[in-house]
Amino acid sequence: SASQQGDGKGAGERFSSSGFILAAIGSAVGLGNMWKFPYITGLYGGAAFFLLFIICLLVVGLPVLLAELAVGRGGRGNASTSLIRLSGNRLWGGFGFITILGAFVILSFYAVVAGWTIHYAVLSFTGKLFEHNDYAALFTGFIGGWMPLLWQFIVMFLTGFIIIRGVSAGIERFNKVLIPGLVILLLVLAVRALTLEGAGEGVSFFLRPDFSELTAESALVALGHAFFSLSLGMGAMMTYGAYVDKRQSLGLATLAIGAGDLIYAFLAGLIIFPTTFVFGLEASQGPGLVFVALPAAFSAMPLGSLFGGLFFVLLAFAALTSTVSLLEVPVAFVREAFGWSRKFSVVLLTVLCFLLGVPSALSLGNKVPALTFGGKPFFDWMDFVCSNIILPLGGLVVTLFVGYAWKGASEEAGLSPWWFRLWLFMLRYIAPILVLLVVLYSAGIITL
Ligand code: PHE
């Protein structure tokens, strides 16, 4: 029944205090930090873009993150029912459902990219990666072939395998091991990158802003990425919020998650930019950056197959802590809506999500021409619609809900009066306007 999952006091369906922070950081930290963040920083303005991203994180990201966590804990349901319970209005549940659909769709192609990283980890550890010299051709050949399907399947399988054990024995335990482990790996790799001869140029590209590099588009991309990186607008933080203890301070949790997300992005930049510049590679080459530039760099480095392997394993694990949070969103929904068991819900949704991801995996490299339309492969369409439209719209739903509709927000968030007023101001007047701009611009309704 709904109350069984929704308000169940079952210890297995609640996070411990540190477990929650680590799981939420695990959700936030993923391909967004280590694959997408470096390449969009390379494309949209280097250090100046990084600064914009930090501002978006603080001004819009953190307020919306706190809003999602508070709604989840206040409603103790999934991303749709929590909104209904808190407002008494089913319409909000329908809006919340958009975020659940978004999580499911994003997971379908996110798992494809996560799969690539496992493939590259294997290639690197076995030394096979370094038998090549044209890494761009290797990458396009690989993603255009059939292999990605296998890896995508493995990612979905592992994701289902973890969450089938439930919130505390599955999600929490997995994150508690991985998140600290990842920091250590990242630090090792950052030291390696920063001690390369000539690392300074990459560091200054990443950390010395040149504001003439910024365009209006940079600002919108930075804002969209702040949402993506903090796992907002996809129901993930609302869903995790429902498993949080009442005694936990959500304000402090928000700061910890934001700081965690930023630290991982920062370290990723400190690894990728020095390496890219030292080896004379192109920082603005787009999505291939970590798959094309880094192998070239690792191949020219002593112990490169070890460092390369570690890097891609790190990427794969970071991705898995995010896929876990994405799958939990629709799982929580179907359990509550249909009363299904966790086991059955996980198996069913894992299979369905894998199937939805198949066209994404197969659309690259033009082996199935029907999967490319309007000049974009199916994969790019999924990414575009999710990142630029569903995700900001989902964020807008939560923002407006907490800003205007929910009377109990103050009590649930537990902020001091001053912070509460600032939070509400951001949610009412700043975040909705900026987010709306992203949606309108992405949909082509306004141009800059
Ligand atoms: N935040 C994750 C990342 O940076 C992606 C994600 C988005 C996860 C939305 C959950 C929900 O990779």
Q: Please list the residues that pair with 244 across neighbouring strands.
A: none
- What local confidence, expressed as pLDDT, does residue 11 receive? 53
Determine which residue's CA is closest to atom 10 belonging to ligand 1: 231
List the residue whose alpha carbon is closest to atom 6 of ligand 1.
Answer: 231
Nearest to 225 by CA among 44, 376, 377, 63: 44
Cβ neighbour number for residue 372 with a 10 Å cutoff: 17
Q: Give phi and psi for 15, each to the nearest 5.
A: -85, 150
- Kindly report the number of other CB atoms within 10 A of residue 384's CB atom: 12
Q: Is 276 in the pocket of ligand 1 (CB under 6 A)?
A: no
* Most informative mutation of 231, 328, 331 for ligand 1 (most atoms within 8 A of CB): 231
Percent of the chain with pLDDT over 90: 74
Cβ 229 under 6 angstroms from ligand 1: yes
Q: What's the average model confidence in pLDDT over 214-232? A: 92
Please compute the mean of the pLDDT values over residues 67-91 and round it to a whole number: 97
CATH architecture type of domain 2-386 = Orthogonal Bundle (1.10)
Structure tokens at 92: 């909000």
Alpha carbon distance 167, 322 (integer Å) = 14
Task: Say what the pLDDT of residue 49 is.
Answer: 97
Question: Mean pLDDT throughout 216-228?
Answer: 91
> Using CA atoms in the order 73, 76, 77, 83, what is the torsion angle rounded to 10 degrees?
-60
- Strand residue runs (E) in 313-435: 372-373, 376-377
**Between the CA atoms of 330, 336, 339 and 345, what dihedral angle is there, to the nearest 10 degrees?**
20
Residue 62: pLDDT band by 50, 70, 90 thresholds? very high
Give the chain's length: 448
Rounded mean pLDDT of 191-195? Answer: 91
**What mean pLDDT do residues 427-431 have?**
96
Complete DSSP assignment for 227-271: HHHTT-SSSHHHHHHTTS-TTS-HHHHHHHHHHHHHHHHHHHHHH
- Rounded to the nearest angstrom, the distance between the alpha carbon of 30 and the centre of ligand 1 is 6
CA of 197 to the centre of ligand 1 (A): 34
Q: ipTM score of the complex?
A: 0.98
- Answering whether pTM is above 0.90, one says yes
How many whole angstroms from 228 Cα to the centroid of ligand 1?
Answer: 5
With bands split at pLDDT 50, 70 and 90, how would you rate the model's confidence at 439? confident
Q: Give me the residue spans of the domains in the chain.
A: 2-386
Query: Which pair of structure tokens corresponds to residue 377?
Result: 């492969």
Residue 428 CA to residue 90 CA, distance in Å, equals 22
**If you measure from the C-alpha of residue 205 to the centroid of ligand 1, how many angstroms do you get, rounded to a whole number?**
26
Measured by CA distance, the residue closest to atom 4 of ligand 1 is: 32
Q: Is 239 in the pocket of ligand 1 (CB under 6 A)?
A: no
Cα(325)–Cα(15) distance, rounded to whole angstroms?
Answer: 13
Q: What is the whole-number distance in angstroms between the Cα of residue 200 and the centre of ligand 1?
A: 30
**CA pair distance 150, 166, nearest whole angstrom:** 26
Quick: pLDDT tens for 270-309. Answer: 999 999 999 888 899 888 889 998 888 888 888 888 989 9
Q: Is 237 in the pocket of ligand 1 (CB under 6 A)?
A: no
Amino acid occupying residue 16: S
